[in-house]
Structure 1
């Protein structure tokens, strides 16, 4: 039965795990305009050490932070709608580009597969 599961399946599974872990680990983190860059870096570095991650970029929307900052305490909490994340996963011969970005139409931080290809052909 193991021959039914292939590199593509494993690459996509790993990609989903990375995006889900990132989302649930970091949403709710305190952030303001002074700390946003260091939070982006922390997220990137945390996820980049996990198996099969070849590349990751994290952007947190500063405009949303500005609009959400609590005037008394000077920070807000990281929300899924603030995140724009791109990850490349490589499992053996397969690369998967995946992302997390806020979808306005769905009003939801959507995770999706952007591209799947053989790394032998890249």
Structure 2
């Protein structure tokens, strides 16, 4: 199959159909599990570009994360900066991260992106 959630959703819109809720939830759940896996590594991996166009669908319409180009190791006890410049897709970047370029251990930088994707796929 090999397409992104965004591509599949647009195809359904142009074909006057709708992306079924079950498929939307399956894609979100798979991508969310991938994000949780990255965040549970030591050190944490910060994905930094969680968008519908980076959620790939396998043959069973399960969401899989793609495009790890700007992913970085997360903060450790002695290091809070993961870069000197905030990277990611505008509209999905965490507001705290874009203004400070800091990523604190207790602050989920990828969470606002996940929230935005959930809202976007619910429309």
If the length of structure 2 is used for normalisation, what is the TM-score? 0.33
Between Structure 1 and Structure 2, which shows a larger proportion of strand residues? 1
Larger-Rg structure: 1
